[in-house]
Amino acid sequence: MRNNDVYPFSAIVGQDKLKKALLINVVNPSVGGVLISGEKGTGKSTLVRGLGNLIQDMEVIELPLNATEDMLIGSIDIEKALVEGKRTINNSILMKANGNILYVDEVNLLSEAIVNSLLEVSQSGISRVEREGITFMHESLFILVGTMNPEEGGLRPQFLDRFGLFVEVLGSDDLYERINIIERRIQYEENPSLFIQQWKYEDSKIWNKIKKARELISKIVVSESMMKVASEISMKANCSGHRGEIVMIEASKAIAALYGRKNITIDDLKEASQLALPHRMRDNPPDMSESDDIEKEDNNDANNEENNIDNNDQNTPENISDDMDNDQDDDGNDENRQNDNLDSIGDSDNETIDDIGNLFKVKDLDIKPLDRKRRKGAGRRSIVKTSELQGRYVRYTFPKGKYKDIAFDATLRAAAPYQDSRNKEGLALSIKKQDIREKIREKRTGSTILFVVDASGSMGAKKRMESVKGAIMSLLNDAYQKRDSVGMIAFRKEEAELILNITRSVDLAYKKLKDLPTGGKTPLTLGLYKGYEILKNAMKRNKDIIPVLVLVTDGRGNVSIGGKEPLEEALQVSKQISIEGIQTIVIDTEQDFIQLKLAEEIAKEMGADYHKLEELKAEEILNVVRNHI
């Protein structure tokens, strides 16, 4: 709003890479913006705002999360329409952003409709408005700067690719840097205007550097050999598409210009690759250890970068599974050996508590496979159009039937051009039926995933339960980001117990999972029935949920509830579940030499997706569930 109290860009300690990325964009806007990913409290936003204040010919235009579509792309100006009877367009965010920096804080939380409009414009550089009887076109070239905290989930791949550069920011580990950060912040807060005054000179030095670099950049000629090197780097880093190398070249031009040079060096390219490639690299880059040319180092650098992102995205489950590894080494082995023996006994009443399996490594649980999945699903997973009067109002539509949720702004705009010819009865405005528009709201609704887990004695065998727990946990991790709700039913002995009611507290789910014991008979029907009831109730409470039942069992039900054959009963309930429209997934844990394929039969009856546990690496189990949602 007011620029007088902005923390000076030059006073920010460290974060050199991010500063550089921002400067590169300001010098050469064709680089295409920056996505800043990082933990909380690392000065992401402060830097961007500081930059806006430092650059005298550009402004930082903010796209707040609460923005509605009409504000982003523009709509008819009500006042003008009423007073002058003219159809004009109001000043939209995209208009204001033209030639400036468009800043989106928490860009990964932006609503789908807004992201789509934004993608369209950032591709073409032109915004077309076709609404409310207005056709209008204007240029909208801006530097897109977004921040995100990967803990809150990722970005769609197309959107990710739109950002020219990517920087991951971390807090400093250096004691003296940290002290310095505290000191400056305290100084600033005690007397902002004095502090800003003290840094004015430093800021102006940076501004001069930018101006010089901007002059220089048009004189930079990119040699063919450099282009070749760039595409080689990009290829070796296994980047998708060609944007990687193009951005790399554009960024190197800016880097060279910032150094005051007219030629691009290998070092410039190297620096550029570290910023331009990390978010464009695909999984499993080919082994680069054989490469022995100059780019080798670049690749490795970029690759390290990549690993960092992965770790960050994942909240480092690596650490978690490492911890678990250790746990197992301590006490798990003995238990498991016991289980092996128990296997032959089958339904023993002995109870064991298995650790959560460590069957997956970070790479398998990478966020990227999920993103790729999501592309197919076009984000249906987490965002649904909601029928209730809740959620974020993103755009309007023509009403069908009774009016429930009138979009007043859109209605007024629709009515505005006709006011001259209407009888207004003393009011400033006359609204007719045909003017009325309704709101379209979006709500982030995760799915409600209920695990129905067989915890009978047969599951305790051969680390089965460990793998099962590992798989469930990988889903929990994902549910955390996607705001899914999770619940868990365990069936064993004579009962099916709701060990975790449907909740969003993933921590709680984790604890319950960890303490889940196995042992006893297999009351499969009971488990299924309970799961059915719970989900049905949840659906009654909230129509917008996406119910998913994940049955994890070997199918060897041996407890009857109604006096019939246990299997027959189980099949009956399964059918009921399928009728109710609950999405189901069966994960078969059967592993004996002679297979009864009972779980498969149940899966058929439920119309469920059927998978064997062996075939499910952590990565796959997630995808299985995601495919459904």
Partner 1 sequence: MINKKKLYPFTAIVGQESMKKALILNIINPSLGGVLIRGEKGTAKSTAVRAFAELLPQREEVEECMFSCNPDDISSLCGDCLERYKKGEDFSKRMGNMKVIDLPVSATEDRVVGTLDIEHAIKKGEKRFEPGILAMANRNILYVDEVNLLDDHVVDVLLDSAAMGVNTIEREGISYVHPAKFILIGTMNPEEGDLRPQLLDRFGMVVDVVGEKEIDNRVEVIKRRIEYEEDSHAFALKWEENQIELREKILHAMEILKKIRCHEDMYKTAAMISIELGVDGHRADISMIKTAKTVAAFDGKLEVDKKHMIEAASLVLPHRMRRRPFEEGVVEFSKVEELIRGIKDEK
The residues annotated as belonging to the active site are 243
Under rule CB under 8 A, residue 63 binds partner 1: yes
Helix (H, G, I), strand (E, B) or coil at 212: helix
SS3 602: helix
Sole binder of partner 1 in the list 236, 270, 392, 464 (CB under 8 A): 392
Binder among 483, 536, 604, 617 for partner 1 (CB under 8 A): 483
Q: How far is the CB of 140 from partner 1 (least distance, A)?
A: 15
Looking only at the bridges linking them, the beta strands covering 495-503 and 485-492 are antiparallel
Q: How far is the CB of 629 from partner 1 (least distance, A)?
A: 18
Identify the three-state secondary structure at position 496. strand
Among 31, 71, 471, 489, binds partner 1 (CB under 8 A): 71
Binding window for partner 1 (CB under 8 A); candidates: 18-26, 76-84, 535-543, 605-613: 76-84
The answer to whether residue 182 forms part of the interface with partner 1 (CB under 8 A) is: yes
Candidates 8, 29, 33, 391; binder of partner 1 (CB under 8 A) is 391
64-72, 128-136, 272-280, 338-346 -> range binding partner 1 (CB under 8 A):
64-72
Q: Where are the alpha helices (DSSP H) in 459-550?
A: 464-482, 506-514, 524-541
Binding mask 249-268 for partner 1 (x = CB under 8 A): --------------------
What DSSP assignment string belongs to 311-333?
HHHTT-HHHHHHHHHHHIIIIIH
Nearer to partner 1, 44 or 279 (CB): 44
Quick one: which of 10, 45, 198, 350 contacts partner 1 (CB under 8 A)?
45
d(CA 607, CA 601): 10
Least distance from C-beta 173 to partner 1, angstroms?
6
Of 82-90, 197-205, 276-284, 345-353, the segment contacting partner 1 by CB under 8 A is 82-90
Closest CB to partner 1 among 296 and 444?
444
327 binds partner 1 (CB under 8 A): no
Which of 327, 409, 495, 601 touches partner 1 (CB under 8 A)? 409
CA distance 318 to 308: 12
Q: In the bound complex, what is the minimum distance in angstroms from residue 393's beta carbon to partner 1?
A: 7
Burial profile 250-289: b = 16 or more Cβ within 10 angstroms, e = fewer? bbbbbbbbbeeeeebeeebbbbbbbbbbbbbbeeeeeebe
Question: Which residues 6+ apart lie within 8 Å of 541 measured at CB?
Answer: none
What's phi and psi for 577, nearest 5 deg? Answer: -60, -40
For 16, counting Cβ atoms within 10 Å of its Cβ (0-12 exposed, 13-18 middle, 19+ buried), the class is: exposed
Q: Give the shortest CB-20-to-partner 1 separation in angstroms.
A: 20
**What residues from 127 to 156 belong to the interface with partner 1 (CB under 8 A)?**
149, 151-152
Out of 141, 288, 429, 561, the residue judged to bind partner 1 by CB under 8 A: 429
Q: How far is the CB of 424 from partner 1 (least distance, A)?
A: 9
* CA proximity to 629, closest of 446, 506, 441, 443: 446
**From candidates 16, 175, 289, 329, binder to partner 1 by CB under 8 A:** 175
For residues 18 and 210, which CB has a smaller minimum distance to partner 1 in the complex?
A: 18
Q: For residue 477, state whether it binds partner 1 (rule: CB under 8 A).
A: yes
Looking at the DSSP bridge assignments, the partners of residue 439 are 396
Q: Which of 192, 346, 369, 379 binds partner 1 (CB under 8 A)?
A: 192
Q: Is 105 in the site for partner 1 (CB under 8 A)?
A: yes
Single out the segment in contact with partner 1 by CB under 8 A; choices: 122-130, 311-319, 371-379, 601-609. 311-319
Using the rule CB under 8 A, which residue among 7, 29, 52, 62 binds partner 1?
62
Of the ranges 24-32, 121-129, 185-193, 543-551, which one interacts with partner 1 (CB under 8 A)?
Answer: 185-193
The SS3 of residue 209 is helix
Maximal C-alpha separation, the chain: 89
Contact segment (CB under 8 A) with partner 1 among 130-138, 343-351, 388-396, 530-538 equals 388-396
Q: Do 337 and 354 touch, CB atoms closer than 8 A?
A: no
| 25, 36, 70, 302: which one binds partner 1 (CB under 8 A) | 70
Q: Which of 261, 363, 372, 444 binds partner 1 (CB under 8 A)?
A: 444
How is residue 204 written in tokens?
A: 């102006």
C-alpha–C-alpha distance, residues 212 and 608, integer Å: 64
Least CB distance from residue 171 to partner 1, whole Å?
5
Q: Are 562 and 568 in contact (CB under 8 A)?
A: no
- Contact assessment for residue 164 and residue 250, using Cβ atoms and an 8 Å cutoff: yes
Query: Does 163 participate in binding partner 1 (rule CB under 8 A)?
Result: no
Among 272, 259, 207, smallest CA distance to 17 is for: 272
Is position 107 an interface residue for partner 1 (rule: CB under 8 A)? no
CA 549 to chain centre: 23
Q: Kindly tell me which residue out of 25, 28, 37, 42 binds partner 1, with binding defined by CB under 8 A.
A: 42
Alpha-carbon torsion 134, 135, 136, 140, what sign? positive
Residue with structure tokens 């620096």? 271
Q: Are 375 and 158 in contact (CB under 8 A)?
A: yes
Chain centre to alpha carbon of residue 370: 9
Residue 420 as a binder of partner 1 (CB under 8 A): the answer is no
Our finding on whether 505 is near partner 1 (CB under 8 A) is yes
Query: Binding to partner 1 by residue 84, rule CB under 8 A?
Result: no
Which of 26-34, 71-79, 116-124, 571-579 is the region at the interface with partner 1 (rule: CB under 8 A)?
Answer: 71-79
Span 193-222, contacts to partner 1 by CB under 8 A: 193
Q: Give min distance, CB of 486 to partner 1, in A.
A: 11
Q: Which stretch binds partner 1 (CB under 8 A): 2-10, 283-291, 553-561, 586-594?
A: 2-10
- Edge-to-edge strand list for the sheet holding 438-444: 383-385, 438-444, 392-397
Judged by beta carbon, residue 258 or residue 473, the one nearer partner 1 is: 473
Q: How far apart are CA 526 and CA 570, in angstroms?
A: 8
Enumerate the β-bridge partners of residue 442.
Answer: 385, 392
Q: Minimum distance between the CB of residue 108 and partner 1, rounded to whole angstroms?
A: 11
- Within 13 A of 181's CA, how many CA atoms are on the CB side? 16
Q: How far apart are CA 121 and CA 524, in angstroms?
A: 54
Q: Name beta bridge partners: 492.
A: 495
The reply to whether 490 sits near partner 1 by the rule CB under 8 A is no
Member of 56, 57, 79, 215 binding partner 1 (CB under 8 A):
79
Place of tokens 């209605």: 411
- The CA-based angle 96-20-277, given to 5 degrees, is 90
Q: Which is nearer to partner 1, 291 or 503 (CB)?
A: 503
Structure tokens that stand for 531 in this block: 């799961």
Strands 438-444 and 383-385: antiparallel
Binding flag, residue 248, partner 1 (CB under 8 A): no
Binding of partner 1 by 183 (CB under 8 A): yes
504 in contact with partner 1 (CB under 8 A): yes
